[in-house]
Amino acid sequence: MQFAQRLNVIGESVTLAVNAQAAQLRRQGIDVVSFGAGEPDFDTPASIKQIAIDALLAGKTKYEPTAGTPEARRAIVDKLAQFNKLAYSPEQVIVSAGGKHSLYLAMMAVLNTGDEVILPAPYWVSYPAMVKLAGGVPVMVRGRPEKDFKITPEQLAAAITPRTRMFIINSPSNPGGHTYHPHELAALAEVIAPHAGIWVCSDEIYERLIFGEQKTCSWAALDFTRWKDRTITCNCLSKTYAMTGWRIGYTAGPRPLIDAMNKLQSQMTSNITSFCMPAIVEALTNSTLEKEVEKMRSAFEKRGEYMWRRLNAIPGFSCVRPTGAFYAFTGIGGALGRPLGKSKAPAREAVEFCRRVLDEVHVALVPGNDFGFCDHVRLSFATSMENISKGLDRLEGFLKL
Ligand code: PMP
Ligand code: GLU
């Protein structure tokens, strides 16, 4: 069968594929420990669920404004003002079906064929695919593990060409687990600022999952007057409130950009699920939920620290300490090319390594290839301590000489 050529430039999302593989093995009765899922293992807070149930029972089952109800947009505006120090109006906000949809619409709205998009590597798997689907060309700038994967202003400057149209920044970052401090963001901003035609797409979905003394900030908050017309601020409820399945994302930016995204969305998906709109208001305005957000954050911090220490103790592994999100992205270079597992056969790169680990010791890892690093693997620590400990025991067993 013949399909559109645009499908030839992308592959399936590797993160979702690993989740599916692990789920399939579980259905066969195999006890898989999955470090694949990039989603909180906690349940959505009860009051958020109740508001959606009430809305459903009250008959909130019809079309809504494409960009979101006035109440949901107002709640987002207030959250952006209070938490992010960003002064947007409701017309400068659009609600979409998850962070993924928000980012995709933004790229479809601004990119033309051949436009270059600068992506710090390691990058989240879907960025290059989205850029390519929108006709753009991903330009990778490689962060070094010795620098916690953070790119430098010099590297950024060297990647800019007359065709550069967008720079994507994700802090805290998936998969690197690193977080840019406001002064590091400010140094990158100085490089972008003179190039008036470059948009900054700031993916802030892990903003509340930040560890220890680490700080970060919204890109546009570096200097709102300077950045408000050039920044696309993307966020979602998925990670902060354990709502990955709800599919709620939002974007804030200049009115013409939001209008353009609204136009696209109105022809594609219309509004997000109607009875989820009041859940946005509940999540973003009920301050008692802060306790639950903090409970999840501190659990991720403890698990991340534990996983990082154990990974670094494995000969041949080298892992940057996570300062945000819920991923450990470890180098496995020292374990490649040497005897592994029962068969003692070596693995050459991360895809092969992960396949062997899943087959032989039933631990699901995500190979780093689609994040731009074929000698790294990603482990999500959004799973219980018990699972983390069990999975790492198995991994150590697989690596024992
Ligand atoms: N950006 C990053 C960096 C992500 O890790 C993800 C994955 N959840 C998304 C965007 C998409 O989020 P959502 O699940 O809300 O679509
Ligand atoms: N973003 C999450 C991850 O990286 C969820 C999966 C996906 O959307 O790709 O695992």
**CATH, residue 301:** 3.90.1150.10
218/38: higher pLDDT? 218
Judgement on whether residues 249 and 386 belong to the same structural domain of the protein: no
User: What per-residue confidence (pLDDT) applies to 110?
Assistant: 98
Which among 286, 313, 331 is the end of a domain? 286
* Ligand 1 close to Cβ of residue 248 (< 6 A): no
Which pLDDT does position 18 carry in this prediction? 85
Write the CATH number for 74. Answer: 3.40.640.10
Domain termination site, one of 286, 308, 333: 286
pLDDT score, position 61: 98
Q: Give me the pLDDT at residue 304, please.
A: 98
Q: pLDDT at position 224, please?
A: 98
Statement to judge: residues 304 and 245 lie in one domain: no
Number of domains in the chain: 2
Q: Which ligand is nearest to the CA of 202?
A: 1
Average pLDDT over residues 341-363: 93
Q: CB atoms < 10 A from the CB of 327, how many?
A: 30
Residue 65 has a pLDDT of 98
Task: State the pLDDT at residue 178.
Answer: 98
Ligand 1 and 98: CB distance under 6 A? yes
Which of 254, 286, 318 is a domain's end point? 286
pLDDT band at 16 (very low <50, low <70, confident <90, very high): confident
The pLDDT score that the predictor gives to residue 11 is 87
Ligand nearest to the CA of 18: 2
pLDDT of residue 257: 98
Nearest CA to ligand 2 atom 2: 38
**98 and 121 share one domain:** yes
Q: Specify the pLDDT at position 15.
A: 85
Q: Is the pLDDT confidence value at 273 over 90?
A: yes
- The answer to whether 186 and 222 are in contact (CB under 8 A) is yes
Rounded to an integer, the average pLDDT of 230-245 is 98
Band (48; pLDDT cuts 50, 70, 90): very high
Same domain, 357 and 220: no
- Give yes or no for residue 106 having a pLDDT over 80: yes
Q: Which ligand is nearest to the CA of 20?
A: 2
Q: What is the pLDDT of residue 176?
A: 98
Ligand nearest to the CA of 329: 2
Q: Which residues line ligand 2 at a C-beta cut-off of 6 Å?
A: 13, 15-16, 38-39, 100, 125-126, 174
What is the position in ligand 1's atom list of the atom closest to the CA of 170? 3
**CB of residue 124 inside a 6 A radius of ligand 1:** yes
Q: Choose among 308, 241, 301, 305: nearest CA to 276.
A: 241
Q: Is 173 in the pocket of ligand 1 (CB under 6 A)?
A: no
- Ligand 1 centroid–CA 16 distance in Å is 11
Predicted pLDDT at 37: 81
Q: Same domain for 306 and 349? A: yes
302, 220: one domain:
no
Ligand 2 atom with minimal separation from the 126 CA: 9
pLDDT score recorded for residue 17: 84
**Residues 104 and 142 reside in one and the same domain:** yes
| pLDDT single digits (tens) 381-391 | 999 999 999 99
Mean pLDDT (whole number) for 215-243: 98
* Mean pLDDT over the full length of the chain: 97
Portion of the chain with pLDDT greater than 90, in percent: 95
Please work out, in degrees rounded to the nearest 5, the angle formed at the alpha carbon of residue 172 by the alpha carbons of 129 and 152: 80
Place 14 in a pLDDT band, splitting at 50, 70 and 90.
confident
Residues 196 and 228 in one domain: yes
* Residue 401 confidence (pLDDT) above 80: no
Do 198 and 99 belong together in one domain?
yes
Average pLDDT over residues 365-374: 95
pTM of the model: 0.97
Token readout for 169 is 């920044």
- The strand pairing partners of 377, in sequence order, are 330, 367
**Ligand 2 atom with the shortest distance to the CA of 37:** 10
Q: Is the pLDDT of residue 13 over 90?
A: no
Q: Which tens digit of pLDDT belongs to each residue from 169-198?
A: 999 999 999 999 999 999 999 999 999 999
| Together in a domain, 70 and 9 | no
Q: Using CA positions, which residue lies closest to atom 3 of ligand 2? A: 38
User: Based on the domain organization, do 270 and 386 belong to the same domain?
Assistant: no
Cβ burial 346-379 (10 Å sphere, 16+ → b, else e): ebebbbbbbebbbeebbbbbbbbbbbbbbbbbbb
For 50-77, write each residue's pLDDT tens digit: 999 999 999 999 999 999 999 999 999 9
Nearest to 34 by CA among 397, 364, 388, 386: 364
Range of the domain at 384: 5-43+291-400
Note whether 141 and 217 are same-domain residues: yes
CB of 205 within 6 A of ligand 1: the answer is: yes
Q: Which of 389, 76, 86, 123 has the alpha carbon at shortest distance from 250?
A: 76
